[in-house]
Every structure is written in C-alpha cells, then in structure tokens.
Structure 1
C-alpha cells in the first residue's frame, strides 16, 4: 500500500519538471457536470462523439446520457457498478469479473451466461478502442474525461455486438498547457483511494499525460473459516498517453494502460432455502444434517441464515486476480475536405480466479476455477466529411481474438455423501468418500475469433430543419473453438464411458468427460435509418428504425452427451440474434435554456435470442446455450436537468421498461419446479409435467414454457435523481463555495433468475447518498460523503446452486459507507 501511494505521489510530483514555457492553446474540455457546469454548458455546450464526430448533445438523434469526470468523481461512481446508480437504463451484475453481465434496457446478455463462445450485446469502447470482454467493466475508471451511455442498437457505427447499446468512454487527452490533479479519499471499511494525473508539453509539438489510480477496501463479508474479510477491493490502474502534432494537419496519439485487481474475492453467501421437487432427503436441510458441525455441537449449519449479518464459512481459497492492459495508436489526419482516422490497438486479459462453488463450509467442491488468457487486436480506419447538404462517414474494421481457458474442478471428501445419499441408483456409494474425493475435471477451452466489417452513415440535410440519416454495416465472423474436459478418478485413472461399473457411472454423473471441435462462420448486414426534425432551435424530434444482430457463436461450456458419451454437436453452434428496433425521441431545452428535458420511447424485438435452454429431445437432459424464439423490450425513458440559478442544480431521470420473453417454450424450469422425476407417459401427472408439493417425491417437466415472463435483471421502474445547493463564501481571503449535494436511485422488483422463480425475485430498493463540502476557483475541493445513508439492506443478485438442493446464494449490496475526499488542481 505504501509503495502504491509513493507511486501516485511520484506521478503528481513529476509535474514539477514539465516546462510550462511551451504552453499552447488547449482544446476546450467537455464539462457537462450537472453539479458544477455553468448555464452555458447546460444550454447546449455538452459535446459528444456518439456519431464518431464532435457534436452538441441536443443535436444528436440518439438516446444518450453523458456523465463527465466531475459528476463521476463527486458521486463516488468510480466504476460501472456504481455508474448504474446514475443511469436508470443500465444494469450491471457481477459475481466476479469473468462472470459479469452488462445490460441496457434489459438486453445484452442474460445473467449467468458466461461462455467463451458468445459475446456481449453492449459494446465497451475506451478512446475508440473496442473491449470485447465485459471484464473490462469491472475495473475502476482511470483519468476519465467523460462517459457516454448510448441506448438502443448502435450496430452501424459501433459494430455487431451493440444490439442493446454502447458505453463510449473518453479519457483526458495530453495538454499543451501545464496541469496536474491529485485526489485522496479515506473512509470506513479501511477504504483508501488515491488518484493523480499530470500533463504538459515536452516540446512545442509533443505533449504527455500520465494518470494513476489506486483503490483499497476491506471486504464487507467476514469469513469465519479463514478469519478474514472477503469481497474486498484492491485496484491499481496506470494510464499514459503521448500526443505528437506531427504536422499542422496530422496528430498521432500513443496510449497505454495497465490495470490490476487482486482482491480477496468473491463469495456469495447463504441467502435462503427454497424447496424443489427433489425428495425431502435430497434437499439442503436434510443433506447438511448428515455432517457434523466443525465449529460446535450438532450438525452442520452456516454461521448465519440472515445474509445481512454478512458472514460466511466458505472453505475454498478465494482469489480474483484480474489483469488487463494494452496499447493503441490513433492517427487523425485533416485532409481539408474531411478527416481520416486510424485506430490500431492491442489488448490482453489475464484472469486468475479461485472460487468456492458449493457455497458452504463443507468439502464438496474443493477447487473450482477457470483461469483465462485473452489477446485481441483491432484496426479501424474511417473517413468523415461534412458539407452543406451531406455529412458522411465510411470505414472498415478488423478484429482478431484468441482465448484460452484452463478450468479445473475437484471434488472433496464430503462429496459422495452429499451427491449420493437417497439417490435410487447410487445410494450404496454415499458412505464411501473415495468415490468422489479427488475426482478432477481439467477443462481446456480454446477460441479463435475473427471478424471484419465495412460500414457507412450519411446525414442528408434536406433543409435547415429536416435531416435523414441512413447507415449500414456489413460484417463477417469466423470462430473456431474446442472444448476438452478430461476427468481423472481419485486413483489417477482417466475416466471414460467404456467403464460401465457402478462406481464409474456414479463419477460420470458428477463430472463427465467430453471433447469437440467446432467452426462457425457467417455474414450479416446491419442497417438503420433516422429522421430528425428541429421544430425550433431548442426542440428536436426524431424517429429511428434499426435492423441489427449479435454474432452467433459456439457452446464452449459443453453440450449434452448421449448414453455412450458422444457429444451432441448438433447443438454446438448458436445462431446470431436478429434485432428489430423502433425508437421515437424528443429533445428540448427551455427556461431560457436553463433546463433540459429529453423523452424517448422504444420497442425492440429480438429473434433467436441467445439463452440457456433445455431440450427434451436430447437423450441426456442438460442445459446448454441455444436460441429462444423471441424476446421483446419496450418502454419510456426521460431525463430532466436544470440550473435555475448559480446556486442550484438538479436532475431527475427515469425509465419504465417492459422486458419479457415473447416465446420461449424450452427453457430450464425454475427451482420450485425442478429436481423431480422425469415425466413419463405412464403417469398422467408426470406426462403433463405438473409438479407436486415441493419437498415430496414428485414429477418435474423436462422443459418449461416461460413465454410472457420477465427477462432477468431488469426492473419495470428505475429512477435516478440529485440536487446540489451552494453558498458563496470567502475562506483565507479567497472566493469559494460551501455546497451540499444529495443523489439517489430507485429500482423496483426484478427477477434474478433466467426463468423467473418464486424464490428469486429481488424486492425493490432505494439508495440515497449525501455529500457536504467546500470548493474554490483554484481547484481545491474538500468534502465528506455518505453512501447508502439509511443503511438499506438489499441484494445485488441471487443465484441457484448446483444439484437442485434448494440452497439460494446471494450477494448483498454495500452497507452504509462514509468518508472524506480532498482534491486539488495545480
């Protein structure tokens, strides 16, 4: 920790050697902060690059929210998990960086679908570089200028995997005028955060910028088994960029970054028990009663059944080392009539985890981890030109990625009793721990993913009020992937399907070997058309139709096996999602441009939605990734911001979202309908797939029709709001302001399971935050802050656990946190 603070201090002190004599005019910085912006910025000075050109926000016919560095920092939103509290249509769920879902309007990727062979539906771009894995979203922000959240399909300019939207992040650029910033925060849970940046000229044509960020916080959950706090935060980020004005018309920017997370993480803890259709002796209460309590008399029990006591006893090592980095070269060449831009980038991701996937203190699964290494190369080339009648941009994009995942799962000495007790086939093996103790699956998963695209967009200025904007993108994808799971017995022998002994069949029922190698390729066309009309200088309406897609892929978590152990490769490929999207929007300013109100209505339908399915036609029932028939999301969003005077600023944003499966007939059944005997025609109840009383021997349907049910993770109502008041004052002879700010967000009830379950709805909650401080015109800002000021208990997510035992694991959100921040510019 001391070394990291010294590193940050050295970055800040390096500013002393930057020669200010070379200072030149600096491009105006985008500053759309609601809390600190002046009236002119709110009146239309917010600049965005949503259409790959610099434009004022209110002139862009896209549903886009802009958050600048001051807003992000002042509200403590230093990562995307916090950012969703400011943006009602954004949802982010994460049990660890690899198992993360980033959705907009309920679309992107369903919760729980981590799979190397598919891609996200929300594109993440940092300084115009595409980040293909959502693990990047788990990192803290470093030296951010602003973030644009683009809602709705953005396939024309942002690519194939933006069916739900895009996150466009811009970092601060090198400056030809001297500047430096430093910030330090401390708080409860031993929270420590420090940030520092410095920028300035090296010569009259060369400028540099260096930024660093460090975050450390004690975990909010206490593990009695290891006597340590878990789910901590531990982040170090470095970013540097070099701007060379090679000629009067050519700028070259070389950027690099390094990011490391290495917390004690990530544990999901006991959140409840929901009976399934399993026999009562095969469910969580009865199974835990088979084991002695290692911490006292009686049988095993978790330390607390109240998840908000925030204690656990998971006995496997927890590790979530997440390392990312890369470099990019951006060339911007002014050709007179237009501008040519080239963005070349390389990125890598190294994921080294360790988990406890049985969620208990029992030695059921002693190792469960999927270390992953990824490399990606991207090249984008585009030309943009503006004219009196037409503006246009055309370009090409190339992408290549390799992923190598080396997963391992090892069963422990308690596994035989847990998995086989009461089982009609394997009950005789339940008292023999040697059957499963040491049973190991080593999984080798590889993917080569390449794509290329040509794209273009034209804006036809029909007259001074009406614009017509068509766009297209032609994309080619090719993926080759392999899945190889080698299972070894506790005796060290390779488990095969040739061995038909009871012991071998029992071992295969827990971990089964599998191998296949598949190739996927496809051409796709995305296109859209938008008409926008300026009714007045301050009122613009628009209408959009978009046809997009999300790339198809491969099932790289395994596929069902037949009775001989042969992989059913007919389901190894996953079709692309096809998107039809309609949107109407209204952007307005009034009150002498001191207030802004934007309204959006949308209707999105997706065919061949990528989801987890059960197929009763397969000889061995197993959930796997495939295509559901159709989903739909529709709703209304609004954003209001105002600065009625220099003393007051406020905002209020909201979304009503109706996101449902329209046709999904072969979905996995929810927990309360799963675990019973398979349906048979000999029994009318089972043939109809009607479950009996939970906890008693009964029948479960092989698949469930969940048409009409909610999509997971999306609330029907979501709100964000904030207000700030300031009072001018003089401190030590200088002008400044005392200020108080309040912000909060609300989410109504949402489903935390792909198939909505009685046990898996998360009730709605409201979070409120407070800040109180002083700032002056010299860049000094000192404030105290409290997040979740009313200490609201809430769940970020709930998850079912393996084997249909009824155990529900959960991840509680942060309790009340508080601290002090000091920021200074120099």
Structure 2
C-alpha cells in the first residue's frame, strides 16, 4: 500500500491546475493527431456517447439542457463500483452526500452549501430526493442502495419551478429501469472483505402484448468494520433486504399506466460513535480502532420504508402530453443511540420516528418546434411523528422525553416554458407558487429514572419543559428567468436567475423552560441564484466540457443549534439573516484514443455568513456570531480525476476504471470543533470484464484503497452532564469486492 499512499499524497489542491491542463490539453493532443489519420467511422466509434436526462421533465440530450446536471448511467455505476447513492458525491461537483450519524441509511445531503444538518422529524431537507417522479420527504432510508437503476441524476442549484418542494439546493433523481416488455433476467452476486455478501436479482417480461411486469430485489449483508467492545456486537455492519415491483399497461397507443411498489427493511445495528475524549465518569479512554465503540444500550435498530405510485401518461396529440402521478410513502424507524458511547447508562437516546406522505401531481407537457412547456398542479400531505428519550446521569438518574408530530399540507402550481426565438436564441420563463400549512404538537417532559419513549410513565413528570400545539402558514412565489444561446451544434451558452424556497416550521426539540419563545415558528429560507454556464463538445465529440459559475444570496437560512445548558440540551432553530455563496463547477471528459478516456470534475464553493443572530439560552442575550461560523458539510474544493481504459481480453472486453477523489477541509457543524475533518483524497480502482456472449460479467472493485479514515459526522457536547461528550463517525475503510453477474 506504500504506492497507493504516495499517489494519494501527490493529489493536493495545488495540483489542480496541472490536472486541468493535462486532461483538457495533454490528453486531447494525441486524440487530435489520431483524428487526422482515422476514417469517419473510427472517429464516430471513439466519440463520446450521448447522455439523456430528464432535468426538465422530458427526455433530452444533456448538452441541450441549461441546467448544471450530472448523470451517471447504469454501466458507469457498475464499472465505478458505486453501490450506494452516497458515493455519487465523488462524481458531482460541490455535492455532499453522507450517511448521517448513528445510522446506516439516513442521508445527509448538501449541494452548493445548502442541505439539511438535522435529520429529526419535522425539519425539511434542502436537497430533494426523488425515486423516479416521487419526492421522498424524509432522510431516513434515503441513503439508497443501487440496484436495477437506469441512471442517477444530480441537479445543482434551486429547482423550484419544476420540482418545487425542498429543492432549494438541488435535486437527486434515482431513476429506475423502464419496462420494455422484453424477456430479461439478471442476477449479481458479490463477495468482499468484512464478510460482504450481496445478491441482486432483476427481471421483466410481457404478460400480454399490452401488460408488462418487472421485479427486482436485493439482500445486502456485511460484517461490522468494528465492534462494541463491552458487548461483542458488530458496529458499522449491514443487513438490508429490499425489493421493487413494476407494472405497465399500454391501454392504447397513446395511453399508458404504470404502477410501482418498493419496500426496504434495514436491520443493521445502530451505529456507535468513537469517543475522541476520555470519559470523566467511567475513565474509559478512546478505543484504538475508530470503528469500535462502547454502549449501555441494546444495538437493535430497524428502519422500514415503503412506497407505492401510480402514473398515467396520455399523449393527447403530437404536441401535448398529460401526466398524472399519485404516490404514497411511509417509514418507521426504531433505534438506539448512545450519545456518550460508554458502558454507563448516561446520555442514552432510544428513539422512534414514523412518517407518512401522499402526493398527487398533474402535469401538462407541450413540445413543438418553437415552444417547450411544462406546467402542473402539486398537492402534498405529510405527517411526521417521533419521540426520543435522553437518559442523563449526573448525580441522579433522570430521563428527558421529547416528542410530537407535525402535519404538513402543501399546494403548488407551476409553469415553465422555453421559447425558441430563432436558430440560436431561446428564452426560458417559469414560476411556482407554493402554500404550506403546518400543525405542530411538541412536548418535552423530565422523568425520574430510566424511561423508554412510548412506554407509559409510572409517575408524573418531574418537570414539564415544553407542551404546546401551534399552527402556521407559509407561502412563496419562486420565479426562473433564463436565456440559451446555441452558438453552433456543439456549443451552448446559458444564463439564468432562479429563486429557491424552503418552508418554515417548528422546532421539535423546543425547550420553553429555557427559551420562552421556542414555540414560535421559524421562517422560510430563500436563495436567489444567478448562474452562467456552457455546454460544449469539441474535436468531433472527443472532448466534452461543461462549466458553470454561480452566485447565490441566501436569506433567513435555517440552522439547528444544540447547546448544553447544565444537564439539559437547549435547541434552537435560527434564521441566519443572510449568507453569500459563490462558486465554479467544471465537468470534462476527453477521449485520448478509442480505448482511453479521462474525466475531470472540479467544484469550488466560497460560502460566507453575513449575519447570524444567535440567542444564548444561558445568558438570554442575542449576538451576531457570523464571524465565528462557517458553512457545514461544504468543502471549499471538491475534485475528481479519473480514467477509463478498455482492452480486448479472452474474446470479450475488459474495462479498467480508476479515480482520485479529493475534498478539502470540511466542518461538521457551523461552529468549528475537534470533529472537523482536514482535506483528504480517496483512491478507487476497478476492472470489469464482459464475456463475448454478452451474458456474463465479472467485476473486481477497490474503494478507498489508501484506507483513509475521515470523520463525516458526530456529536459535540463538551459540557453536558459533567462529561466531555464528543463522539465521531467515519467513512468506510478500504473495501474490496468481487462481483459475478449473469443476464439474458
């Protein structure tokens, strides 16, 4: 591994200019020379493939869409060894997708500095996650494993006019494989280190000439990267069963109905944090292995998510399509989180979350030579409930139980159209009006002894810290204005102004005994983003270069702050007065020869708070702390340099992939802490062989080959309950896997 570590050290930020030059110019020079001698057929064979996306609600060439979007297709996902949606962050600039603290399948997603730090029920995400056309309202279960997928799209920047709900930072689309009616079957089996054993099955067929059916499922298991030292249970293990059923009925040539249902059961253990400080109460020292922990709780954990959707698409004529999507999703989480990760039953947090959502969307799509138009009506209803207990030991054992529900009713109407003025110029205008009504019920009681949530108390509470029911309404109009200039067939320049919106709400951890105004709603946040970009292909489609610069004014940013006040945790949701986010994004792919490709992805974000008015519950004073705060989960630099090489082997084809993925220093929370991670680079490599008959493939993949240990989440309570409670959660260590696949 000495060679890998050396390679990792070489790829530092000051090498980016050299990397850009080598990919955009050095890699292209031999391609240019080869073009002079190859015939037209050879040139076409070596050209980059056309990538289809649905960023504007209809299938289009990536290069014609005036949006900063990354699309990764099924074969690229396989060849790059991407098994979970979180890995996509390495292939999309200015994007963070991590597994949240204390969990295996809850997603923390940020794009261009905007996201959701706190996965508690009632809080809204800043990045919308979609399974096909259905929005997932909660981050639990959103760290999706990848199977039977056609592609994954990442849309960066506000997507309010077409996608609306909580896409103030962007949207991530998990697009499943479409039904064709062909007889297909595929099976993939994977074994790897840490006892990884995965099986994925998928298939489809036609029941009649008009009715198609498809199904896919996976069982994903892995031993823990570490263990709970005092119990012997596994830590960071994986135990997931998931499946999906699809039906499509072609009622007429221009009318089709599609039904989909999915269900996932995650029985992986709750994830134990690694203490960074010795325990003052138990004298336990930090374990040697960062994946080891201690606990005073059971490690049982269950996350169950499911959903059903029905889609109707009616092609009224050559220009008009009417589409209706109705969906329902629900999730139940029952877990145990040991905040202090010690053997002592203190700071234990047993938790239960439950959510349900229904949505209905009616779309009107128009496409003619001069005008492309998408409009619709959207209705959403969601109920998110939960309860958790914080067991505190500091002289006497007490439990603080926090719980409640928030109901959301949302209505929206939207329209966006692009008018083709002439052969080169087109203009886009769009808008969305949203109205949200929220009803919240929040309680927070203190009990003597150890009490589990949802279990009736034997005695009345010692103290009622919070108990309120309140309602609030929020509305907003989000416009979009843009232009597109098609200089020639291979170069488009676009510019846009877009307004993004995320609804307000109530703090589900509100502590009125410490903050009398804690029951007041926090307000919506908005972002106004200006973007200028290019989509281009050069050298007869041997070089694809897409880039964007953006400037965003972020107002009333919602930030969840938790501070230790004595033996209590005081929560507050702040509307930071303002922040500015500016950045650059570059995505380049170059064909050096018909067997060799390079790709480069670079994102730079300059995000700064202008004003943050912070209320201190202990001193009961307000202060501007913007000079102390920085953006969480937003590295200044993200970059990936990759290569792909294809060679004939044993009558088939062998595809090599390798990349270096770099992220600069990242803060876990808005305030600096010892949890914060320095910059790092991950080395990933793999090889996939395709048999000549097209049925078999074998893939060997290695991820994080340099075995970098990076803190990606944590809890920071240095003064809570007489303890210095600072615990960290880490990325996956070096993993190696071998997959054999068969399909017909």
TM-score range, shorter chain: 0.7 to 0.9
SS in 2 for 1:654: strand
1:101 corresponds in structure 2 to 108
Pairing 1:353–2:335 present = yes
C-alpha distance after superposition, 1:471-513 (max 9, x if no partner): 000111001010122333249432345xxxxxxxxxxxxxx63
1:747 corresponds in structure 2 to 663
Identify which of 462, 476, 484 aligns with 1:532: 484
Pairing 1:555–2:514 present = no
- Quickly say closer, same or farther: Cα 1:560–1:311, change in 2 above 3 A: same
Contact 1:323-1:350 at 8 Å conserved across structures: yes
Cα distance in 1 for residues equivalent to 2:675 and 2:60: 44
SS in 1 for 2:442: strand
2:474 corresponds in structure 1 to 522
Contact 1:359-1:809 at 8 Å conserved across structures: yes
Shift of 1:171: 0.3
Shift of 1:557: 1.3
2:173 corresponds in structure 1 to 168
1:150 corresponds in structure 2 to 155
Pairing 1:70–2:36 present = no
Cα distance in 1 for residues equivalent to 2:44 and 2:234: 46
SS in 1 for 2:86: helix
1:46 corresponds in structure 2 to 51
- Quickly say closer, same or farther: Cα 1:538–1:823, change in 2 above 3 A: same
1:507 corresponds in structure 2 to none
1:494 corresponds in structure 2 to 460
Cα distance in 2 for residues equivalent to 1:238 and 1:679: 52
Contact 1:302-1:313 at 8 Å conserved across structures: no
C-alpha distance after superposition, 1:373-392 (max 9, x if no partner): 11110000011111222221
Identify which of 193, 197, 222 aligns with 1:192: 197
2:12 corresponds in structure 1 to none
1:13 corresponds in structure 2 to none
Identify which of 605, 627, 645 aligns with 1:707: 627
Q: CA RMSD in A?
A: 2.4
Cα distance in 1 for residues equivalent to 2:575 and 2:583: 24
- Quickly say closer, same or farther: Cα 1:611–1:41, change in 2 above 3 A: farther
Shift of 1:558: 1.5
Cα distance in 2 for residues equivalent to 1:61 and 1:530: 8
SS in 1 for 2:63: helix
Contact 1:612-1:667 at 8 Å conserved across structures: no
Pairing 1:447–2:406 present = yes
1:823 corresponds in structure 2 to 741
1:781 corresponds in structure 2 to 697
- Quickly say closer, same or farther: Cα 1:615–1:798, change in 2 above 3 A: closer
C-alpha distance after superposition, 1:258-305 (max 9, x if no partner): 1111101211111x34xxxxxxxxxx66x33xx4xxxxxxxx22362x
Cα distance in 2 for residues equivalent to 1:301 and 1:614: 25
2:357 corresponds in structure 1 to 376
2:285 corresponds in structure 1 to 302
Shift of 1:642: 2.4
Cα distance in 2 for residues equivalent to 1:41 and 1:609: 47
TM alignment of 1:271-282, pairs within 5 A: 272-273=276-277
TM alignment of 1:773-812, pairs within 5 A: 773-777=688-692, 778-801=694-717, 803-804=719-720, 805-812=723-730
SS in 1 for 2:161: helix
Shift of 1:776: 2.7
- Quickly say closer, same or farther: Cα 1:49–1:457, change in 2 above 3 A: same
Pairing 1:399–2:319 present = no
Identify which of 760, 763, 767 aligns with 2:678: 763
Shift of 1:784: 1.7
- Quickly say closer, same or farther: Cα 1:102–1:615, change in 2 above 3 A: closer
2:642 corresponds in structure 1 to 722
TM-score scaled by length of structure 1: 0.79
Shift of 1:571: 4.8
TM alignment of 1:118-157, pairs within 5 A: 118-157=123-162
2:493 corresponds in structure 1 to 541
TM alignment of 1:404-423, pairs within 5 A: 404-411=385-392, 415-416=393-394
Cα distance in 1 for residues equivalent to 2:718 and 2:295: 15
Structure 2 runs not aligned, ≥5 long:
1-42, 450-456
Shift of 1:649: 2.3
Cα distance in 2 for residues equivalent to 1:679 and 1:400: 39
1:17 corresponds in structure 2 to none
Contact 1:139-1:261 at 8 Å conserved across structures: no
1:462 corresponds in structure 2 to 421
- Quickly say closer, same or farther: Cα 1:654–1:585, change in 2 above 3 A: same
Cα distance in 2 for residues equivalent to 1:314 and 1:191: 25
TM alignment of 1:335-734, pairs within 5 A: 335-336=316-317, 337-365=319-347, 367-411=348-392, 415-416=393-394, 430=395, 435-436=396-397, 439-490=398-449, 492-497=458-463, 513-561=465-513, 568-569=516-517, 571-612=519-560, 622-666=570-614, 705-707=625-627, 709-729=629-649, 731=650
Shift of 1:125: 1.2
SS in 1 for 2:556: strand
Contact 1:611-1:625 at 8 Å conserved across structures: yes
- Quickly say closer, same or farther: Cα 1:176–1:42, change in 2 above 3 A: farther
SS in 1 for 2:230: coil
- Quickly say closer, same or farther: Cα 1:547–1:196, change in 2 above 3 A: same
Contact 1:773-1:782 at 8 Å conserved across structures: yes
SS in 1 for 2:114: coil
Identify which of 310, 314, 317 aligns with 2:298: 317
Structure 1 runs not aligned, ≥5 long:
1-37, 274-283, 292-299, 417-429, 498-511, 670-677, 681-700
SS in 1 for 2:90: coil
Shift of 1:595: 1.6
Give the total of aligned pairs. Answer: 686
SS in 2 for 1:541: strand
SS in 1 for 2:511: coil
Identify which of 67, 80, 84 aligns with 2:85: 80
Pairing 1:55–2:7 present = no
Give the strand-richer structure, 1 or 2.
Answer: 2
- Quickly say closer, same or farther: Cα 1:667–1:791, change in 2 above 3 A: farther
Shift of 1:761: 2.5
Cα distance in 1 for residues equivalent to 2:434 and 2:563: 31
Cα distance in 1 for residues equivalent to 2:562 and 2:648: 64
Cα distance in 2 for residues equivalent to 1:726 and 1:82: 23
SS in 1 for 2:261: strand
- Quickly say closer, same or farther: Cα 1:238–1:343, change in 2 above 3 A: same
- Quickly say closer, same or farther: Cα 1:484–1:50, change in 2 above 3 A: same
Cα distance in 2 for residues equivalent to 1:241 and 1:42: 35
